[in-house]
């Protein structure tokens, strides 16, 4: 046999086709979908439980769940997007959904809603953020708000008395000092939140600004940034918050958090994650609002903690729609999910969940109810490039934490960099 | 043509797996990335021609590009000589004619097999952490440790040490080279009463020069391409404060985190040119210090 160019190309073509074949339904009765989410141990357990329930109700469909931590999730998602092999159903975040919709990676669900996916019971406006340019791309699977989980036992032992729903930054600083002092430095008052842009956003809004303007530019001012980093610097210099070596490790897994390891008494999380923090701890965890600066507003807002989206690469669309519909409507699934992904955005969902809540979860639901009157309007959707701005915030903030830059200089650099990032991402 | 084939067919046949791989798997993507480097490409929508835009941005505005170069050059300058010295040192120890040499060779080669793995990078992160083994040992001597990886002043050295530890493959090549040095040279030197250090500088090093050169070129290229350890130890970001922003880590993030495949392709081509330049430099200087025994002048 002589190997001609044509034959060689033909062979390669055939080989390529053969590898592509498994994508087609090889066995007609076997239907399957893939669901990809970022998780934590609690969430993964709950989600696999929901998958079990779904497969029990629909034995003809197999769901393969894929889970990974937040930090790696977006890298893997981007790679899969590029490779054209996104999962059928993915979990989306309000900071990223715009980016994926604008690149055409998600599929509009307008034609499914009302027919295959029932959202008629949803709260007014619950799907507003997931609706982009008038089309629904992300179905909210839970509402949440910012929160400060704190170690109740440590706070009480140190004699800290405060109102979790109205405490100020001064009271917060006092609490940190008291805790550090009463434990002889064993436990500091709080994690150093310098590098948490999610917590910083509350600070910005309390001052009457927005993180991003409506036309997608940076909205926080250098003063916002400088005052925020200066606030934490003062606590750091006083030694009443966690040390810099822990602070500069970015996007730590939940088990690595100081509050879980017992080094500090408080941290920042979204309210829906408090249950997962508690699951890793023995001491009881309480929920407080982000402390407000005296004379300023609260800055909190309610946001969808995550969305379910159908991707451009969806194979079995009917199965994907059925799966999403069960997620948000099947009472058994709602109970299995618990609160980890947020408060269910419908009265039906909340009622289904109520009897099964544990102590921490009840506290979270109460917290969520109690902060409602103190909550401002929802900010506009984050522009393309917001993920990169977040990285810049952590990177430049690190220089402040390590004492290489003053809060003022770093703030000027951050706002400048953020402007450049947003310009480049949206040109 | 016919004679050429008859003479070389066997050679090309043995080369064919590589050639097929290169032409069908590597060449296409390489040319595609050259094209993409002149475009803006977000991996989902079609690439948009941008001329020299990526390169202009890189050299004119991109501070992180220069930071990445700085980190990578520092790493290459430190890790390559250290790794080669380590490899040569161990190779000379093993060249003493031990009976269990096979065992030792395997043991010393082991880190090179493991070193590039994610598990070792994770282990490294723990070892040099604030409460890690390294600080534990220092504490025994009354020295208070620091967060080696979380401090930008020291983080890169942890990766240099990791690279140094993976001295296996240059060691094996050195070992083969040492075996090739005629014993009678040493015997003659010994009879003349030449001290060991001079035997090393006057016999071992010159005789080994071609092997050193080979290892230098290979290891330099390898060092420029370092990725896994920096990526894992810095949590994929180059943190703290971009002190671990290796060129490849920056490139990876531009491509797969921020959807700038065009820009990342341009970065890749600049890295290729840098590596080519260093290799060319090594070859250009080699005639002054590398002498091949069979090239009598």
Tens of pLDDT along B183-217?
Answer: 899 999 999 988 989 999 999 999 999 999 999 99
- For residue B174, the model assigns a pLDDT of 94
Whether the per-residue pLDDT at A5 is higher than 50: the answer is: no
Whether the per-residue pLDDT at A27 is higher than 60: the answer is: no
| pLDDT band at A358; cut points 50, 70, 90 | confident
pLDDT, mean of residues B54-58: 95
pLDDT, mean of residues A318-339: 92
CA B149 to chain centre: 21
Q: Can you say whether the dihedral through the CA atoms of A382, A399, A421, B66 is positive or negative? A: negative
Closest partner residue to A248 (CB to CB) among B44, B150, B256 is B150
Phi, psi (degrees; rounded to nearest 5) at A91: -95, 135
Tell me the chain A residues in contact with residue B258 when contact means C-beta distances shorter than 8 Å: 387-388, 425
- For residue A1, the model assigns a pLDDT of 37
Tens digits of residue pLDDT in A72-84: 898 889 889 888 8
Tell me the chain B residues in contact with residue A404 when contact means C-beta distances shorter than 8 Å: 152, 241
Structure tokens at B11: 């050679």
CB of B43 less than 8 A from some CB of A:
yes
- For residue A145, the model assigns a pLDDT of 92
The C-alpha atoms of residue A338 and residue A354 are separated, in whole angstroms, by 9
User: Which residue ranges form the domains of chain B, and what is each CATH number?
Assistant: 1-26 (no CATH), 61-289 (1.10.3720.10)
Cβ separation B236–A75 shorter than 8 A: yes
Q: Can you say whether the dihedral through the CA atoms of B74, A249, A426, A199 is positive or negative? A: negative
Closest partner residue to B242 (CB to CB) among A79, A249, A395 is A395
- The answer for residues whose C-beta is within 8 angstroms of residue B104's C-beta and 6 or more apart is B94, B98
Q: A209, exposed or middle or buried, with CB in 10 Å at 0-12, 13-18, 19+?
A: middle
Q: Distances in Å between the alpha carbon of B127 and those of A258, B134, B158?
A: 19, 6, 10
Compute the nearest-CA separation of B275 from chain A (Å). Answer: 26
pLDDT, mean of residues B242-270: 93
- For residue B36, the model assigns a pLDDT of 96
- For residue B226, the model assigns a pLDDT of 92
Closest partner residue to A12 (CB to CB) among B24, B45, B240 is B24
Tens digits of residue pLDDT in A137-191: 999 998 899 999 999 999 999 999 999 999 999 999 999 999 999 999 999 999 9
pLDDT, mean of residues B137-144: 86
DSSP state of A110: T
| Chain B residue at shortest CA distance from A384 | B258
| pLDDT band at A324; cut points 50, 70, 90 | very high
Q: Distances in Å between the alpha carbon of A342 and those of A226, A252, A273, B23?
A: 32, 20, 8, 52
Tens digits of residue pLDDT in B164-176: 988 988 999 999 9
The C-alpha atoms of residue A37 and residue A76 are separated, in whole angstroms, by 11
The mean pLDDT of chain A is: 89
CB of B32 less than 8 A from some CB of A:
no
The C-alpha atoms of residue A385 and residue A423 are separated, in whole angstroms, by 9
Whether the per-residue pLDDT at B256 is higher than 90: the answer is: no
Q: Can you say whether the dihedral through the CA atoms of A132, A135, A137, A138 is positive or negative? A: positive
Tens digits of residue pLDDT in A82-127: 888 999 999 999 888 988 998 889 999 999 998 899 999 888 888 8
pLDDT, mean of residues B39-61: 91
Percent residues over pLDDT 70 in chain A: 93
The C-alpha atoms of residue B33 and residue B55 are separated, in whole angstroms, by 14
| Chain B residue at shortest CA distance from A69 | B235
| CA neighbor of B233 nearest in space, from B120, B134, B133 | B120
ipTM comes to 0.84
Cβ separation A79–B261 shorter than 8 A: no
pLDDT, mean of residues B1-15: 83
The most confident of the ranges A35-39, A69-73, B45-49 is: A35-39
User: Which residue ranges form the domains of chain A, and what is each CATH number?
Assistant: 31-142+305-345 (3.40.190.10), 144-302+376-426 (3.40.190.10)
Tell me the chain B residues in contact with residue A72 when contact means C-beta distances shorter than 8 Å: 236
Which candidate in A72, A78, A104, A242 is best for mutational testing of the B interface (most B CBs within 10 A)?
A78
Whether the per-residue pLDDT at A408 is higher than 70: the answer is: yes
* Between residues A6 and B38, the one the model is more confident about: B38
The C-alpha atoms of residue A297 and residue A169 are separated, in whole angstroms, by 12
CB of A230 less than 8 A from some CB of B:
no
The C-alpha atoms of residue B237 and residue B233 are separated, in whole angstroms, by 9
Tell me the chain B residues in contact with residue A12 when contact means C-beta distances shorter than 8 Å: 24
| CA neighbor of A188 nearest in space, from A218, A213, A154, A141 | A154
Tens digits of residue pLDDT in A236-267: 999 999 999 899 988 888 888 999 999 999 99
- For residue B291, the model assigns a pLDDT of 78
The most distant pair of C-alpha atoms in chain B lies apart, rounded to whole Å, by: 76
- For residue B1, the model assigns a pLDDT of 60
Q: Which A-chain residues 372-411 have CB contacts (< 8 A) with chain B? A: 387-388, 391, 394-395, 398-399, 402, 404
Cβ separation A245–B151 shorter than 8 A: yes
DSSP element (H, E) containing A113: none
| pLDDT band at B293; cut points 50, 70, 90 | low
The C-alpha atoms of residue B284 and residue B217 are separated, in whole angstroms, by 12
Closest partner residue to A250 (CB to CB) among B147, B151, B239 is B239
């Amino acid at each position: 046999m002589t190997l001609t160019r044509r034959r060689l190309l033909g062979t390669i073509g055939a080989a390529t086709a053969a590898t592509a074949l498994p994508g087609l339904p090889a066995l007609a009765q076997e239907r399957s979908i893939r669901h990809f989410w970022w998780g934590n141990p609690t969430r993964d357990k709950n989600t696999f439980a929901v998958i079990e329930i779904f497969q029990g109700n629909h034995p003809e469909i197999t769901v393969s769940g894929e889970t990974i931590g937040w930090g790696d999730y977006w890298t893997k998602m981007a790679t899969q997007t590029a490779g054209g092999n996104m999962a059928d159903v993915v979990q989306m975040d309000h900071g990223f959904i715009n980016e994926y919709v604008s690149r055409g990676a998600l599929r509009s669900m307008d034609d499914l809603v009302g027919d295959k996916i029932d959202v008629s019971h949803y709260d007014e406006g619950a799907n507003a953020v997931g609706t982009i340019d008038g089309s629904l791309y992300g179905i909210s699977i839970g509402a949440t708000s910012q929160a400060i989980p704190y170690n109740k036992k440590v706070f009480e032992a140190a004699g800290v008395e405060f109102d979790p729903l109205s405490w100020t930054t001064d009271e917060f600083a006092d609490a940190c000092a008291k805790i550090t002092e009463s434990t002889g430095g064993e436990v500091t008052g709080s994690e150093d939140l310098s590098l948490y842009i999610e917590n910083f956003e509350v600070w910005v809004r309390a001052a009457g600004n927005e993180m991003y303007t409506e036309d997608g530019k940076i909205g926080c001012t250098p003063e916002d940034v400088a005052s925020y980093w200066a606030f934490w610097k003062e606590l750091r210099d006083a030694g009443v918050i966690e040390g810099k070596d822990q602070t500069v490790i970015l996007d730590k897994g939940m088990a690595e958090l100081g509050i879980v390891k017992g080094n500090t008494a408080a941290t920042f999380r979204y309210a829906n994650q408090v249950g997962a923090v508690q699951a890793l701890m023995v001491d009881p965890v309480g929920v407080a609002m982000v402390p407000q600066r005296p004379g300023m507003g609260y800055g909190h807002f309610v946001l969808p903690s995550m969305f379910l989206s159908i991707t451009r690469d969806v194979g079995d669309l009917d199965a994907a729609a059925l799966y999403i519909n069960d997620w948000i409507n099947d009472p058994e699934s709602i109970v299995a999910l618990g609160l980890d992904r947020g408060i269910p955005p419908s009265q039906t969902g909340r009622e289904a969940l109520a009897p099964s809540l544990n102590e921490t979860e009840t506290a979270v639901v109460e917290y969520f109810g109690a902060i409602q009157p103190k909550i401002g309007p929802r900010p506009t959707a984050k522009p393309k490039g917001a993920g990169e701005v977040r990285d810049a915030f952590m990177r430049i903030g690190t220089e402040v934490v390590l004492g290489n830059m003053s809060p003022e200089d770093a703030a000027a650099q951050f706002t400048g960099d953020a402007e450049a990032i947003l310009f480049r991402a949206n040109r | 043509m016919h004679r050429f084939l008859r003479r070389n067919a066997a050679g090309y046949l043995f080369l064919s797996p590589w050639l097929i791989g290169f032409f069908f798997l590597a060449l296409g993507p390489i040319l595609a990335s050259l094209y993409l480097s002149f475009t803006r490409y977000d991996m989902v929508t079609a690439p948009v021609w941008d001329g020299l835009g990526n390169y202009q941005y890189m050299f004119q505005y991109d501070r992180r590009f220069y930071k990445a170069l700085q980190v990578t050059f520092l790493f290459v300058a430190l890790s390559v000589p250290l790794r080669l010295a380590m490899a040569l040192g161990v190779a000379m120890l093993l060249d003493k004619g031990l009976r269990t040499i096979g065992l030792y060779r395997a043991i010393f080669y082991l880190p090179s097999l493991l070193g590039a793995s994610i598990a070792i990078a994770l282990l490294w992160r723990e070892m040099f952490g604030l409460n890690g083994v390294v600080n534990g040992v220092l504490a025994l001597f009354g020295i208070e440790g620091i967060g080696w990886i979380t401090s930008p002043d020291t983080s890169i050295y942890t990766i240099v040490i990791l690279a140094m530890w993976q001295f296996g493959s240059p060691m094996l090549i050195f070992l083969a080279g040492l075996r090739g040095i005629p014993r009678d040279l040493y015997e003659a030197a010994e009879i003349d009463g030449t001290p060991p250090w001079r035997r090393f500088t006057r016999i071992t090093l010159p005789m080994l020069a071609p092997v050193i050169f080979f290892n230098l070129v290979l290891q330099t290229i390898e060092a420029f391409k370092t990725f896994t350890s920096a990526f894992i130890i810095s949590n994929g970001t180059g943190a703290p404060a971009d002190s671990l922003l290796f060129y490849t880590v920056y490139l990876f993030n531009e491509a797969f985190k921020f959807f700038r495949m065009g820009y990342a392709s341009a970065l890749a081509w600049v890295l290729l040119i840098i590596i080519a330049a260093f290799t060319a430099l090594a070859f250009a200087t080699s005639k002054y210090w590398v002498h091949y025994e069979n090239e009598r002048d």
